[in-house]
Every structure is written in C-alpha cells, then in structure tokens.
A = this chain, B = another copy of it.
C-alpha cells in the first residue's frame, strides 16, 4: 500500500513540471505564452462544452482522460509548435521514450492504462482520438482571432498552412466547428495577408 502510494505521488510530483512547458500559443488577454498544463485544462473544458459536436459513438469520459494525459510527454520532449520546423520522426521517438519514463513512474496497472490512453490519442484512429485531436487544435485559432494574430504573426502563417495543419484535424473530428470557423479565418487572413 505504502509503496503504491509512493509511486503514485512520485508521478504526480513529476507531472507538476508540465506547468513550466511553454507553448507558442498565448492567453486570450495576450499577457504571456500559455503553458501545457493550463492548455490541457482548457482543452478538456472545450471537449465537455463541445461534446455535442462529436460523432454519436464518442465516449466523452475517455476523451477527457486522453486530454488530461495528452501533453505529459512534453515534460521530457518539449512542445512542438504546429507551425514550427519540426522533425516529426525524431519528436515521436522522444515522446515514446518520455511516455515510458514518465508513465513508468506509476504502479503497473496505471502505467499500462495511461500509456494505452496516450497511444490511442497519438494514433488518431479511434472516434475518441479523432474528437480529442480536433478539440486540441481549436483554442489557438479562437485566441489568435481575438489578439490580432498571435502565433500566426510570429510564425508567418498562411491560410493554406492553417487549412493543412489545423483545418484537417478539426474537420476530421468536428466538421460542424470547421464549417463555422473557416469563414472567420478566411476573413482574418484576407485582411492581414502580407
């Protein structure tokens, strides 16, 4: 019992460091960059509020657990900005090693459960994963529209890039939201094109 609790708390203490992983996205008042822990909270709230946009078979409780865990690997592997120049194969190997080390701090039953949830999310093949990956992409454009572009300006992003890197996952998991969001993005980029 005590050994089990020690392992559970070793993981929970290590997980605290996700609060110090900074993303390319910002707060909606543009006061600072966002960290991956508060982002994880926000995307869970997005998932619960927008659950009516998911395919009917989606288990929202599994989605919330996926999103709770989805970025923990960044404690070791860092955040990969969606519009940055990233070696995706190298990043995937780093994240797999991070999942082994971090979830490996837990007792075996929890370690397996969490790795399964994280790998399901990463694979993007289950209905829950498609919805979770769509939700994960929505907050940054919503915020960027409010703050004059945010990371779009920092990374010189074009509407074509948005369609490919943001539109594809959003349209896959929540097409109703992409239909609503795409015209707002088109208007913004038409007004702000270099």
A92 at the interface (CB under 8 A from B): no
A64 at the A/B interface (Cβ < 8 Å)? yes
A142 at the interface (CB under 8 A from B): yes
The copy count of this chain in the complex is 2
| Contact call A12/B46, Cβ cutoff below 8 A | yes
Whole-angstrom distance between the Cβ of A28 and the nearest chain B Cβ: 4
Per-residue B-contact encoding for A1-38, CB less than 8 Å = 1, 0 else: 11001001101110111111000000111010011011
A176 located at the interface, meaning its Cβ lies under 8 Å from any Cβ of chain B in the complex: yes
Of all chain B residues, the one with the shortest Cβ separation from A52 is B4
Please classify the interface of chain A as helix (H, G, I), strand (E, B), loop, or mixed, using the class held by over half of its residues: helix
Q: Looking at the assembled complex, report how far the CB atom of A48 sits from the nearest CB atom of chain B, in whole angstroms.
A: 6
Contact yes or no, B41 A16, CB < 8 A: no
Interface pair B49/A106, CB less than 8 Å apart: yes
CA distance A125 to B97 in the complex (A): 42
A5 surroundings in chain B (CB, below 8 A): 176-177, 180
Contacts of A182 in B (CB 8 A): none
Top-7 shortest CB links A-B: A41-B41, A16-B28, A37-B38, A61-B61, A38-B38, A19-B38, A37-B41
